[in-house]
Amino acid sequence: MRSFRFPFGAAAGCILALAVLAGAWLAQHPIERQKSTLTLWTFAPTHYEAYKEAVPSFEKANPGVKVDLQLVSGPAVTSRLQAAFWSDLDVPDLVEVPIDFAGTFFRGRLENVGFADLTERIEQAGLMQRMVSSRFSPYMSRGRIFGLPHDVHPVMMAYRRDIFEKEGIDADSIKTWDDFIRVGRKLTVPGKRYMLELFDTRDAHLASCLFQRGGGYFTPEGECILDNEISVQTMLWYVPLVAGKDKISNNLGAGQVLTKAVEDGYFVCLLAPDWRTKTFETTIPRVAGKMALMPLPAVEPDGRRTSTWGGTMLGITKSSPDQDLAWKFALHLYLDQQELGERFRGTNIMPALRSAWDQPAFHEPRPYWNQQPIGAMFAKLAPQVPFQYTSPFITTAKAKLGEALVACVQYYNASGDKGFEAFTRARLKKSADELRTLIRRNPY
C-alpha cells in the first residue's frame, strides 16, 4: 500500500489541514447573533446615562425584548453610521444624531435615505402639536420627517451674579442687546476680563444670533441664505463685539481653560443653552451659587428673548427589522413625562414634549443658579425657539459661515469700520456662492 505524501512537504500539509479544519469548525459554529432585539446608539454620555434608567421599564412592559444601548463617541457616530448605512452591516435600530450632521444623512434619493420616514407616525401620534414644532424642521428633507427631536435647547445668558452685584449692575435692567453692550463696555477690561464669551472663528455663536433674528443657513426648501440681509446685518453687529479695540468678547476654547476662565472672572457672561447649564454645573463647580441665568437680550424691545444652540434627533433606521417596536421605544424615551422629569434633573435638557414641562422637576430651585427654577425659566422661553432648516450641505454651510466670520474679523481688526459693510456683503456673498455652486453639483 502506497502511503500518501503531501506534495509540498509535511509543514504545508499541516497548515492546509488546519485551515480546512478551522473553516469547517467556523461553518458549523456560526457567531451567534446578538440577543438584543433593539440596538440604540447615542453619542451623549448624559443621554446614555439617562436612557439606562429608562430601559428596564420598557423591557418590563415588553416581555422578551432586550435593548442594547451603545455609547458611540460624538465625532465617530456620523462616520460609523454612514459606513453602516453604506455597507448595510451593523446598522442600529435607533440612533441619535447631532443636529449639525443630521442633514448630511438626507443626501441622495429619498428612497435611499437610511432613516425611516416618520412623517405619518408623527402625524398619527399628534406629535407636531404636542412637541415644539420648530424642533422638527432640522430633521426634515423634501417635506418628510426623519427624526424625533430630543430637545428644545433654548438659549439664555449665564452670568457671574457676584460680579454683577459687585459692579452694581441689575440683570433685570438688561432687556436688549444695546443694554447688554452698554454694560459690557463698562465691565470689560481688555486682556483681563470680557463681558461675554463669543467665538470669533467658529460659526456656532454667530448662528445662534442669526437664528434669534429669524435668519439661518437655508430656507425650508434648502436654498442657501447665508448672504441675505439678516445675515449681513447680524455679521455687521456681531464682528465689532469680537474684534477691534472696543470688543467686549473673547474666547479661549472649551474644557479646563473655560473652567479656569469662568472661575477667574475672565468671562462674566456666557451663552447658555439648557444643555450647557449642566456642563457648567459639572465642570465649574467652584462658582456654584455665584452664577445666575437671565433671558437672552432681545434684538429690539419686546423682541425674542432666546435662540437655540445644538440639538439631537432620534431616528429609526430602515434596516431595523421591527420598526414598530423601535417606534414604541422611541416614544417611551421621549414621551414618558415622569422619566423626562427625572432626566431633566440629570441633564437640564428641555424635552420637546410640552406637557412634560409641568413636572415638578422643572420648577425646582437650583442652588448652583442662586436658587433659580431654571426649568421653568427655560420652559417660558421654549415656545419662542426659532426655526432652523437643514440641507445635506449643512456642514459645508457652517464652514462657509465660519470662513466669512474669520475674514470679517480680520478685516475689522485691520481697518475698523471703514468699508466694513461693503466687505461684509461681498464676503458673505462669496461664501454663499461657493455653497450654491456645490449644491448645484448635487444631481439628486
Partner 1 sequence: MTTRPNSSSSTHSLHSSRGYHLQQKMAPYLFISPFLLLFAVFGVWPIVKSLVLSMYATSGPKDSVFVGTQNYRYLLADADFHTAVKNTVVFAFWSVVLQLPLALGLAMLLSRRWVRGRNLFRLAVFSPYLVGQVFVGVLFSVLFIPQYGLLNQGLHATVGLPLDTKWLADPALVMPALVLTALWLYTGLHMIYLLAALQAVERELYEAAQVDGANATQQFWAVTVPAIRPTLIYVLIMSTIGSFQLFELPYIMLNNTPGPNNSGLTIVMYLYQTGFVTGDLGYASAVGWTLALGVLLISLVQLRLTGAWKAREA
Decide: is 321 part of the binding site for partner 1 (CB under 8 A). Answer: no
The site string for partner 1 over 123-162 (x = CB under 8 A, - otherwise) reads ----------------------------------------
Contacts for 87-90: CB closer than 8 Å, 24+ residues apart: 88/319
Give the count of beta carbons closer than 10 Å to the beta carbon of residue 118: 24
Give the count of beta carbons closer than 10 Å to the beta carbon of residue 247: 22
Decide: is 442 part of the binding site for partner 1 (CB under 8 A). Answer: yes
| Chosen residue from 78, 249, 348, 424 binding partner 1 by CB under 8 A | 78
Decide: is 426 part of the binding site for partner 1 (CB under 8 A). Answer: no
Strand 94-98, strand 312-316: pairing: antiparallel
Q: Which window, 159-167, 174-182, 194-202, 334-342, contacts partner 1 (CB under 8 A)?
A: 194-202
| Chosen residue from 246, 252, 417, 419 binding partner 1 by CB under 8 A | 252
Decide: is 195 part of the binding site for partner 1 (CB under 8 A). Answer: no
Least distance in angstroms from the C-beta of 407 to partner 1: 7
Distances in whole angstroms, Cα of residue 226 to Cα of each of 132, 136, 236, 430: 25, 21, 13, 10
Using the structure block, give the residue that is written with the C-alpha cell 414641562: 357
Residue 442 C-alpha cell reads as: 448635487
Q: Which window, 117-125, 200-208, 238-246, 335-343, contacts partner 1 (CB under 8 A)?
A: 200-208
Of 70, 118, 59, which is closest to residue 92 (Cα–Cα)? 70
Using the structure block, give the residue that is written with the C-alpha cell 435692567: 173
Decide: is 204 part of the binding site for partner 1 (CB under 8 A). Answer: no
Cα distance between the two ends of the chain: 71
Of 433, 393, 410, 400, which is closest to residue 105 (Cα–Cα)? 393
Distance CA 243, CA 230 (A): 20
Least distance in angstroms from the C-beta of 259 to partner 1: 10
| Chosen residue from 48, 59, 107, 162 binding partner 1 by CB under 8 A | 107
Decide: is 20 part of the binding site for partner 1 (CB under 8 A). Answer: no
Least distance in angstroms from the C-beta of 58 to partner 1: 31
Strand 155-160, strand 291-295: pairing: antiparallel
Can you give the binding site for partner 1, defined by CB under 8 A? 7-8, 75, 78-79, 82-83, 85-86, 101, 104-105, 107-109, 112, 191, 200-202, 250-253, 256-257, 260-261, 266, 392-393, 395-396, 399, 402-403, 406-407, 410, 434, 437, 441-444
